[in-house]
Each structure stands twice: as structure tokens, then as C-alpha cells.
Amino acid sequence: MKRLLFLSTFVLSTFLLSASERIKLSNFHEISVSGSVEVVLVKGVQEYVDFEMIRGDEDKFHAEVKNGKLSIYLDKEFLWTKSAKAKVTVSYRSIDKLSASAGSWVKSDAKIKTPNFAVNTSSGATINIPVEATTLNGQSSSGSILVLSGDVESAKLTSSSGATLDAGALKSETAKAQSSSGAWIGIGVKDHLEAHASSGGSIKYKAASSSCRVDKDTSSGGSISKL
């Protein structure tokens, strides 16, 4: 009986420790994520953040809105302590800008729909999202990964410093792509592509039609070729 009571108490304690916390937010249209945070984006009618600490204390987690920008981050730890880690769900009504840095991870299963959208990854972060927009500006740098799919009229893609920008599943009518310093870009385009690759950068493109015009410019070991 004592053992059963102990097990019940242990299970209840574990559940309480792993339960997520909700933070209600004021209006925002931009999201910035940094640190050991895994984020799932969900379109909703209310704006809030649900978070669960995988490692570390809850007071290490921050979700703050200032001037329409939601910043999600964790307190920095000392060198001799383990860094905190959190899983997060963000409910948004509309967003037009998204950035991830410092090893963070962001994903959305549903298309992010907005007239003009800007997305950026840096410092080992990863973003994987579908987009439906008129214009798209995507940037990846410093070993980060940006994966884009969906439908846009025009796209401007830039990748540098060993980063990856995979937009092979993106359907873009026109696109400009620039890759440098060992970075890689994959892009799908229908009508016209302007591609610039330098300093070991690589661009792979997939033309949706035989009439697609591709303007290439390479220098210092850059390469441009079909997917």
C-alpha cells in the first residue's frame, strides 16, 4: 500500500513538473527566437505562448512583446552549469517577420499567409516553414538552416558563411538568389531567376517551365547548376 501511494505521488509530481505554462501576450506581428528553444507556430484567434522546461527552471524562460515584436529567449548560464532548454508553442494571429538565432529551432505545419514576409536564421539556428506571400525575403548565415516551401510571387534569398537555404519546394514566379562563403541555396522558380554565387557558394535551381530565364553570375569558386 505504501509502495502504491509512493508511485502515485511520483507520477503526480512528474505530471506537475512537466505541465506546460501559458503566457498571454499583447498584439505582435514579429517573432524572434534565441537559444535552446524549440518552437512550434500555430495560427489562432488569440496570442499566447505555452512553454515547458525540458531542462532548467521556469524563471529562466522569457517571452516578451515590445513594439509589436515577440522575443523568446532563455537566460544565459554560467560556463560550469548546464544551459536551460524549453519547448514552446506560439499562437499568433498574423506575422510578417520571423528570426531564429543561437541554435534555436522553429517549425510551422500550416502556411504562414501574409502579403510580405521576411525570415532569417543565424548562428546554427533552424527554421522550417511553408509560406504564402506576394514577396519573400529569406536569409541564412553562420551555419544555420532555413527550409522554405509554399507559394510566392517573388523571392529574394541570401545565404552566407556555410549556411543552408533550402527552398527547393518553394514555388516562386521570380527569384533572386545570392550564395557566398561556402553557403548553399536550393530554389524552385517558374519565370525568371537571377543567381549570384561567390567564394565557394553554391546555388541549385529547379525551373518549373522550359521558358524560365536564368541569369547566372559566378566568381571565386562559386557554382550555379540545376537541381
CA separation for the pair 197, 86 (Å, rounded): 37
* HEC readout, 198-211: ECCCEEEEEECCCC
* HEC readout, 71-111: EEEECCCCCCCCCCEEEEEEEECCCCEEEEECCCEEEECCC
pLDDT score at 44: 96
Q: What is the CA angle 198-123-59, rounded to 5?
A: 165
- Cell reading at 51: 512553454
Q: Report in angstroms the alpha-carbon separations of 93 from 32, 47, 202.
A: 16, 7, 36
| Under 8 Å between Cβ of 100 and 121 | yes
Write down the H helix ranges in the chain: 2-18
* Residue numbers in the chain where pLDDT is lower than 50: 2, 4-17
pLDDT score at 19: 66
CA separation for the pair 88, 82 (Å, rounded): 19
What is this structure's pTM?
A: 0.90
123-130 contact pairs (CB < 8 A, 24+): 125/33, 125/34, 125/100, 125/101, 126/100, 127/98, 127/100, 129/41, 129/98
> Which fold does the domain 108-227 belong to in CATH?
Pectate Lyase C-like (2.160.20)
Q: Domain spans of the chain? A: 21-95, 108-227
pLDDT score at 79: 52
CA separation for the pair 152, 93 (Å, rounded): 20
| Under 8 Å between Cβ of 119 and 137 | yes
- The percent helix, strand, coil of the chain (3-state, each to 5) is 10, 60, 30
Gap between the terminal Cα atoms of the chain: 65
